[in-house]
Structure 1
Amino acid sequence: MSNSANGAALPRAAGLGSIFDARQQVSEAVSAGLKRRYAREKRFRLYGMLATLFAVAVLGILLFTIIRTGLPAFTQTMIKLSVTLYPQEIDPKGDRDPQTLSSADYQRLVRDALDDYFPDVTSRNDRRELFAMISPGATYVIRSMVIADPSLIGKRIEIEVPLKDDIDQFAKGKIDSEADQANRRVSDKQIGWYQRLVDRDLIVSRFNTTLFTAGDSRSPELAGIWGAVVGSFWTMSLTLLMSFPLAVGAAVYLEEFAPKNRWTDVIEVNINNLAAVPSIVFGLLGLAVFIGFFGVPRSSPMVGALVLTLMTLPIIIIASRAALKSVPPSIREAALGVGASKMQATLHHVLPLAMPGMLTGTILGMAHALGETAPLLMIGMVAFIVDVPSGPLSSATVMPVQIYLWSDAPERAFIERASAAIMVLLGFLTVMNLLAVALRKRFEKRW
């Protein structure tokens, strides 16, 4: 009996042993699999961190390059001049007529002041090189002072006027004086004259207010971004006025009122496709339709706003529809349950709750439009515009196009100003994104 019991126990023990071994093998396989999965997860995290660090490094290099190139544009090298405002040169009749004061030969007064500093420079070629060191803007400075205060006529005044861009670049260390004269834009004589002015404490460096108060110019030291800023303001204001109500109205209709049929499906597909159309196609459309057919003035903020409105409408519509979809259905059902009409439920309950998302999408769409260049090149906003635009129908340019024009100029000083304009534009875009976040926080409601 005991032998038979032992015989039965042996197979049972062997079976338990095999089950235990199988479980141990499974456990070891699971542990090995977990280790591999954890290792993959660690590698994935590492790859993600490396990709993020690489992107941040590239962005940092880009910003550092822009800032390093653009910072010198915020200062301008000036020369102190003692200018005598001779009455016989400025106002020979003595009637203080503004037309006479405006047309006087102020350039001669600047040259006379410079001759006082360098009486030894007598040859025609040397005098031409000497006078080339002074910016043409010097005459505008004196003329503005005389027109603003005619009582200065007959007096000797001390003023600071800008030097030419090449001398300014030399003063900022951008031109090597040890290089061969044939390979630099400043001659040895001009370097010597400049050093004499420095020794006499007649050279100063001032904050470049012209960069923020003037329009474009052929001379880099006289060029500013104010004309482009005003053009961007008119263009973006008109774009916002046209795109926001149209986009919100279209989004509300499609999401809340439109029947779900083949026609609305076609509209939705086309809206999504328009959001992916290259921006230059909108420029071609504006050139053919708004300028060619409707006769909107070329290079004006109005035609630029029309083109950018078409470009931003799909973006704002998609963002607005997403904001409407995020509102819980219970809000609509509660409003309808207490007797509100479909229109009342949408306008009084759904739309206010979706407005933060709509505003965020609108501001991001406007920021995208602010940085656009290609469509505006097609409608003529690439033209050289000196005057600051006075209205939506005046000829104008915008900040991205101004940057494009300056970056293509041969003078190094324009490259600095292009980088400075990029810094200002990035500042605008940063403010707009912060405004989007602030509006979302301000109007966000909990439910």
Structure 2
Amino acid sequence: MRQALSADTAKTMNKRRYRAEKRFRFYALSAVVLACAFLVFFFFDIISQGYTAFVQARIKAEIHYTEQSAELPLAAVDEDIRYFVSRGRLRTIPLEIEKHPELMGTTQTEWVIADAEVDQYLKGKSNRLKPKQKRFIDSLKANDRVKLAFNTGFFTRGDSKLPEIAGIFAAVVGSIYVLSLTLLFSVPIGVMTAIYLEEFAPDNRFTQAIEVNINNLAAIPSILFGLLGLAIFINFFGVPRSSAMAGGLTLGLMTLPIIIISTRAALRAVPDSIREGAYGVGASPWQVVWHHVLPLSLPGILTGTIIGLAQAMGETAPLLIVGMMAYIPEAPSGVTDAATVLPAQIYTWSAASLRAYAERTAAAIIVLLAVLLTLNAAAVFLRKRYERRW
């Protein structure tokens, strides 16, 4: 009887265990499906909102280069369409006359950038055009005087108060400056620190305290690094506020713990037999590290560096503290000039009230995601391509 009861009990327990396993697999699969659904929804929402920013409405207009238009740019186009042409384009007419005096007294037929409301209307989005104005735009479209063309200005111009001529070029140049400084500051210091802690430092309370603090720094909120950068680089060393140098050094502080931790992990992955073999042929400790350990751990170091830079590129909070949220219409010419970065530009456009900025915000997010995905793909490729299994 006891044996039969034990068998029944074991059978019941097995059924319960199998049911629990099925429930766990169901929960895990549901979590994966839910995460993928959120990811698909996110990409669909961003792309559906942002792809229209890559085209821009243009109007075929006659530009009159006269003395009157040099003083009053609105007079450069006919009265019937002057309020449908971007003011940003009209403002450049006096500069063109000054630069090319031969244009004076001529009339040129050009495809000029249309106003943001015209652009939104042609893209089928809500706008503030009156019914009479919409009918006029429709008549221009019927006569092939209005079209949607590729928006090269989105990639070649800086920020603007006029959404139809606003672009990301200044933010991209600022991001390049900032990331270059971050790389130059954090990688040498981070790699050398990791080599010392992993290969040369004695195991005592002091080094243990350093390791604990490095691990803690990798987990603290990024905005605290902004406060640290403000106190050290701007207030103490006098680095210009809102400059790429201030942003790059601040992000370098934030990236430093990540590079140290990833470099130590890469060094630790090299087998001790490599070190012992090098010592056996008479190599010094530094020769062991420089000629044997470091080259073998380089793929892991590069992977950690790229991931750290990708994280730094997407940061906004530290740069907010050091003043890199300013309006920057022109690309910086040096690391000490006022600059902004792509995430900060996205944040600024997202707070704008005009609807035309919404699609530019989404388009800038698409560009940023493309860069970040490329960096992460490069990290995965380097890890797979040069990874060694011991």
TM-score (norm 2): 0.94
Structure number with larger C-alpha Rg: 1
Which residue of the other structure, out of 25, 44, 51, is the alignment partner of 1:71? 51
Correspondence 1:39 to 2:19: yes
The size of the alignment, in residue pairs, is 390
How far apart are residue 140 of structure 1 and its match? 5.1
Per-residue CA deviations over 1:166-201 (Å, capped at 9, x if unaligned) read 1211121112xxxxxxxx622233223323322332
Please report how far the alpha carbon of residue 229 of structure 1 lies from its aligned counterpart in structure 2 after TM superposition: 0.4
Match of 1:231?
174
| Corresponding position of 1:400 | 343
Select 1:107's aligned residue among 46, 56, 73. Answer: 73
- 1:240 equivalent to 2:183? Answer yes
| Amino acid paired to 1:260 | D
Identify which of 271, 274, 280 aligns with 2:217.
Answer: 274
1:253 alignment counterpart: 196
Alignment of 1:35-434 (within 5 A): 35-86=15-66, 88-89=67-68, 104-105=70-71, 107-110=73-76, 113-115=77-79, 118=80, 131-139=82-90, 142=93, 150-175=101-126, 185-434=128-377
Q: Secondary structure at the match of 1:335?
A: helix
What's the offset of the Cα at 1:136?
A: 1.2
Residue identity matched to 1:170:
Y
Structure 1 residue 114 displacement after superposition: 2.2
Cα deviation for residue 22 of structure 1 reads 4.4
For 1:83-108, what per-residue CA distance to the aligned partner results, in whole angstroms no more than 9, with x for missing partners?
Answer: 2334x557xxxxxxxxxxxxx33714
Q: Post-superposition shift, 1:348? A: 1.2
Q: Is the 8 A contact 1:106 1:139 kept in 2?
A: no
Equivalent AA in structure 2 for residue 226 of structure 1:
F
Q: Please state whether the residue corresponding to 2:236 is helix, strand or coil.
A: coil
Query: How far apart in 2 are the matches of 1:56 and 1:446?
Result: 31
Q: Deviations over 1:301-354 (max 9, x none)?
A: 100011001101011111111111111111111211222121111111111111
Gaps of 5+ in 1: 1-20, 91-103, 119-129, 176-183
Change in CA separation of 1:346 and 1:144 when aligned onto 2, cut-off 3 Å: same
Query: Aligned pair in 2 of structure 1 residues 399, 79: CA closer, same or farther (>3 Å)?
Result: same
Alpha-carbon distance in structure 1 between the residues aligned to 2:245 and 2:318: 13
Q: CA deviation at 1:149?
A: 5.4
Structure 1 Cα separation of the partners of residues 63 and 75 of structure 2: 6
Unaligned segments of structure 2, at least 5 residues: none
Contact preservation (8 Å) 2:222, 2:317: yes
* SS of corresponding position for 1:82: strand
Q: Relative to structure 1, is the Cα distance of residues 143 and 442 closer, same or farther in structure 2, using a 3 angstrom cutoff?
A: farther
Report if the CA contact (8 A) 1:137-1:161 is conserved: no
Structure 1 Cα separation of the partners of residues 72 and 383 of structure 2 = 56
For residues 140 and 440 of structure 1, do their structure 2 counterparts lie closer, same or farther at Cα, with a shift above 3 Å needed? farther
TM-score by length of 1: 0.83
CA 1:400 to 1:38, structure 2 compared with 1: closer, same or farther past 3 Å?
same
C-alpha distance after superposition, 1:7-30 (max 9, x if no partner):
xxxxxxxxxxxxxx5444434433
Q: RMSD over aligned Cα, in angstroms?
A: 1.9
Q: Does the 8 Å contact 2:73/2:91 carry over to 1? A: no
Q: What secondary structure does 1:114 align onto?
A: coil
Offset of residue 148 of structure 1? 6.6
Distance 1:61 1:114 in 2: 46
- SS at 1:159 equivalent: strand
The structural deviation recorded for 1:213 is: 0.4
Deviation by residue 1:341-393 (Cα, 9 ceiling, x = unmatched): 21111111111111111111111011000000001011110011111111111
2:304 partner letter:
G
Check the 8 A contact 2:53/2:151 in 1, yes or no.
yes
Q: Distance in 1 between matches of 2:95 and 2:378?
A: 39
C-alpha distance after superposition, 1:180-231 (max 9, x if no partner): xxxx622233223323322332111111111100000000001000100000
Matches of 2:7 and 2:297, distance apart in 1: 52
Q: What amino acid is aligned across from residue 437 of structure 1 in structure 2?
A: V
CA displacement 1:34-57 (0-9 Å, x = unmatched): 222222112111110100000000
What one-letter code is carried by the residue in structure 2 that aligns with 1:321?
R
Q: Counterparts of 1:431 and 1:437 in 2: how far apart (Å)?
A: 10
CA distance in 2, matches of 1:144, 1:214: 17
How high is the sequence identity, in percent, across the aligned residues?
Answer: 51
Distance 1:425 1:170 in 2: 27
In structure 2, how many angstroms separate the alpha carbons of the residues matched to 1:146 and 1:435?
48
